[in-house]
Amino acid sequence: MPPGSTLDLEPATAAIDDVRDSQKTTCCVVGGGPGGMMLALLLARQGVPVTLLEQHKDFDRDFRGDTIHPSIMEILDQIGLAEPLHQLRHAKIYGPTLQIANTTFNPIDLRRLKTRFPYIFLVPQARFLDFLANEASKYPDFRLVMGANVEQLIEEDGQVRGVRYLGADGTHEVRAPLVVGADGRFSRVRHLVGFEPIKTSAPMDILWFRLPHIPGDLPEGEGRILGGLGVGRILVVFDRFDYWQVGYVFPKGHYQNLRAAGLESLRQSIAEVEPAFAEHVKTLTDWHQFSLLSVESSRCPHWFKPGLLLIGDAAHVMSPVGGVGINYAVQDAVVAANILAAPLRAGRVQLSDLAKVQDEREWPTRVIQAAQSAMQNRILASVLRSQTVLRIPWFVRAFFAIPFLRDIPARILAFGVRRVRVSEEGVRSST
């Protein structure tokens, strides 16, 4: 179907024997991560009936980033949610602290940016998603189904017309003129529709694990992402208040070497990068306490087809460098809601509307992925290969000392390549 043609917004009804029930909605969002949740909230606010299907029964999972960047906070502020979000237990950081040998380097200071929220707000992502879900549930057009594992697309006449999901009690169907795949890096929807992402592998992998809070350890609550750089390794640390969530970054493909060297060697290595964890690492006694995350980034050449749109990690997996994945997923959601809410309500979504979402969001994604790739290949790869304790090169320190230049990375970190705002119509709530 060429861009410009109108999608048929009256879903067909077909009897399917093993399906327990078939519901209709206007937009079916698959995946309750930051992208899907934000899109569902913004559509529901504007009176678009939306059903959100999330495969897990809750949002409590380790594999989540916890960062809310200034751009997301500004978006939330537009719809009156920044203040309430600040009521949740949180921490703030004004820029990552790089700890190298015994010195620290703070290349980025968000406090110099023109924004009401010049910090990265750290809140366990599960609490953030609970917060958005709770907010969305105030709108009668929002329906959330937890424990709904989408397994099939309903396709008729070359158009996606809904999904089938497996719930606790069997298979259900949701029919909708538009399905949005916001189901993350391993997107089932993307797979079902046959879109192949172009992958770029990063020169590193991450071991992801928890360490306990111990009285007197790192200062609690002030919030920090520590990038500890040592001999061939980097440590990233989030304070999740009840525990430390830690990422141990090491050269890609070296996992077997780590295993062969043994747990004691890994414990020592962690404590070398962050000596404050010398006691904590004693709790690491089994490899089952670690999850291996293969770092890659990718982007889909196509984000849409008739009746279907991909957003967030489903459309483009971002490398963890800079922690921008949540930011980009939320920005995709805002742009999608800005463009699609009115056509959805009017019952006339055109393929060109879906194309517009990709057009607006693809280039900022490609720019940031190119920047991440350059950083990974030129800086991180050499850090991870290094056999000596690193020093920050003079030209890097010089760059961050020049007032005009030093804030460019901060602006990109805070807002992405360009600021995204909720449309005026989106700001006006339907209730």
Residues in contact with ligand FAD by CB under 6 A are 30-36, 53-56, 63-67, 148-150, 182-185, 188, 208, 293, 312-314, 318, 320, 323-327, 329
d(CA 322, CA 142): 33
For residues 53 and 229, which CB has a smaller minimum distance to ligand FAD in the complex? 53
For residues 204 and 314, which CB has a smaller minimum distance to ligand FAD in the complex? 314
For residues 159 and 331, which CB has a smaller minimum distance to ligand FAD in the complex? 331
φ, ψ dihedrals at 179, nearest 5°: -110, 135
CB of 388 to ligand FAD, least distance (A): 28
For residues 101 and 292, which CB has a smaller minimum distance to ligand FAD in the complex? 292
CB of 6 to ligand FAD, least distance (A): 28
CB of 382 to ligand FAD, least distance (A): 23
CB of 247 to ligand FAD, least distance (A): 6
CB of 389 to ligand FAD, least distance (A): 26
CB of 59 to ligand FAD, least distance (A): 7
For residues 36 and 306, which CB has a smaller minimum distance to ligand FAD in the complex? 36
Closest CA to 189 of 92, 336, 277, 300: 300
Q: Residues 6 or more apart from 321 whose CB is under 8 A from it?
A: 202, 372, 375, 376, 380
For residues 183 and 205, which CB has a smaller minimum distance to ligand FAD in the complex? 183
CB of 84 to ligand FAD, least distance (A): 21
For residues 183 and 345, which CB has a smaller minimum distance to ligand FAD in the complex? 183
